[in-house]
């Protein structure tokens, strides 16, 4: 964990890295912690581990925050050693066609490309597709070496797909609770408190084959993990329910754009939120948010846009434990269970 994080620090132009940048780089390396309640504590533990290994220097106590749990350093200093330039005749290497762009690479990129080239020559056409870290360990002796070198499933600024080395990115597992309701849809919920309430309620009413915690924006990169949940729950399709604000609506749209149209809106849950939810202010608008509302919830677009125009939005926590257990029931005569307000 600390090695992966240190690579992001080492890419900084300045040796001194401010706290805001530390937090941003930590989440870049560990997006699954975006809503973790002890995110700062995990970051501080990683910083202290890096300091113990001589990779960074923490400031004096006076340069720590006065408040916070825990108080965080306002900056750290990266300890770097000048890397000796590699001397060699790169043109004398038998570069494979996949790496024909080697002349455009920096010295550090050439070192990476050379290792991949050698591996492909040894294993060409004789390998399975495996998780990225397994392949990284085999080629470089470091399972995290390729983590920060991959962007959009490719290395070297998109010029070498990781599929070329028989690798794929493994999404973080999605937490979920399965109910005894095969062939019902799976429900993905944006926030973890509403996830708990809906999962508890669903264990009794069995409206959904499973309830999944989407973890906010992290859900956008969880396509393979979602398919695994659907398979294990024996679900039939996927519904999504999030905050009624521009950011909450953008999450499932981005997921569908990335993975193909996979999730659909849980219309009745959004309907309940609009009819009975608590309004909050202010709303953070986004470019094209009205068009996004039209794409995600065409039946409710007018109400949603009017809500945002009044500088209000609705947290999905408006549909919580008390609302679910006190005001909603399953229609026993419906072939597909639907909720009705008592």
| Domain boundaries along the sequence of the chain | 2-78, 90-168, 176-341
Which is higher by pLDDT, 327 or 206?
Answer: 206
Q: Are 36 and 216 in contact (CB under 8 A)?
A: no
Write down the pLDDT at residue 220. Answer: 85
- Tell me 151's DSSP state: B
**Given a cut of 80, is residue 108 above it in pLDDT?**
no
Report, as an integer, the average pLDDT of 222-235.
89
What local confidence, expressed as pLDDT, does residue 259 receive? 84
Cα gap 118→120, rounded to integer Å: 6
Task: Decide if pLDDT at 87 tops 70.
Answer: no
**pLDDT tens, 133-183?**
999 988 888 888 888 788 888 999 899 999 999 998 887 778 889 999 999
Q: Using pLDDT thresholds of 50, 70 and 90, give the confidence band for residue 3.
A: low
pLDDT at 79: 77
Tell me what percent of the residues of the chain surpass a pLDDT of 70.
89
d(CA 251, CA 243): 10
Picking from 58-72, 145-159, 236-250, 328-342, which range would have the lowest pLDDT averaged per residue? 328-342
- Element of type H or E holding 154: strand 154-155
Whole-number pLDDT of residue 253: 94
Q: What is the pLDDT of residue 4?
A: 62
Residue 250 tokens read as 């953008």
Where does the pLDDT of residue 203 fall: very low under 50, low under 70, confident under 90, or very high at 90 and above? very high
| Mean pLDDT score across all residues of the chain | 85
Verdict on whether the full-model pTM lies above 0.85: no
pLDDT band at 28 (very low <50, low <70, confident <90, very high): confident
> 15-19, 80-84, 314-318: which has the minimum mean pLDDT?
80-84
**Which stretches of the chain are DSSP H helices?**
2-10, 19-29, 39-52, 107-123, 132-140, 192-205, 223-233, 246-259, 267-276, 289-296, 301-309, 321-327
Question: What pLDDT does 33 receive?
Answer: 78
pLDDT confidence bin for 85, thresholds 50/70/90: very low
Q: Is the pLDDT of residue 333 over 50?
A: no
Give residue 202's pLDDT: 94
Work out the pLDDT band at 83, boundaries 50, 70, 90. very low
Average pLDDT over residues 241-247: 95
Q: What is the mean pLDDT of residues 4-13?
A: 64
| Region 266-286 average pLDDT | 92
Given this model, what pLDDT does residue 13 score? Answer: 56
Of 2 and 256, the structure prediction assigns the larger pLDDT to 256
Nearest to 175 by CA among 247, 229, 118: 229
Please check whether residue 185 is in contact with residue 239, taking contact to mean a CB–CB distance below 8 angstroms: yes
């Amino acid at each position: 964990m600390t090695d992966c994080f240190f690579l992001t620090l080492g890419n900084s132009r300045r040796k001194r890295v401010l706290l805001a940048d530390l937090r941003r780089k930590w989440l870049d390396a560990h997006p699954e912690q975006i809503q973790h309640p002890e995110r700062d504590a995990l970051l501080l533990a990683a910083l202290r581990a890096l300091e113990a290994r001589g990779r960074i220097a923490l400031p004096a106590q006076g340069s720590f925050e006065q408040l916070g749990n825990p108080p965080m350093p306002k900056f750290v200093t990266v300890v770097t050693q000048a890397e000796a330039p590699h001397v060699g005749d790169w043109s004398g290497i038998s570069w494979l066609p996949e790496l024909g762009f080697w002349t455009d690479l920096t010295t550090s990129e050439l070192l990476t490309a050379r290792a991949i080239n050698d591996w492909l020559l040894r294993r060409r056409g004789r390998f399975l597709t495996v998780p990225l870290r397994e392949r990284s360990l085999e080629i470089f002796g470091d399972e995290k070496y390729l983590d920060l070198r991959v962007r959009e499933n490719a290395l070297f600024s998109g010029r070498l797909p990781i599929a070329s080395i028989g690798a794929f990115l493994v999404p973080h597992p999605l937490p979920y609770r399965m109910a005894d309701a095969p062939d019902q849809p799976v429900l993905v919920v944006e926030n973890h408190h509403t996830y708990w309430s809906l999962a508890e309620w669903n264990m009794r009413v069995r409206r959904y084959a499973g309830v999944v915690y989407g973890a906010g924006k992290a859900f956008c990169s969880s396509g393979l993990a979602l398919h695994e949940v659907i398979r294990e729950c024996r679900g039939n399709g996927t519904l999504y329910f999030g905050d009624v604000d521009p950011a909450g609506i953008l999450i499932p749209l981005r997921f569908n754009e990335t993975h193909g149209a996979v999730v659909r809106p849980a219309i009745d849950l959004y309907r309940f939120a609009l009819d009975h939810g608590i309004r909050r202010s202010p709303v953070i608008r986004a470019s094209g948010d009205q068009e996004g509302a039209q794409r995600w919830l065409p039946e409710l677009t007018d109400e949603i846009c009017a809500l945002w125009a009044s500088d209000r939005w609705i947290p999905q926590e408006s549909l919580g434990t008390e609302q679910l257990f006190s005001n909603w029931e399953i229609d026993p005569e419906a072939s597909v269970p639907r909720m009705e307000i008592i």
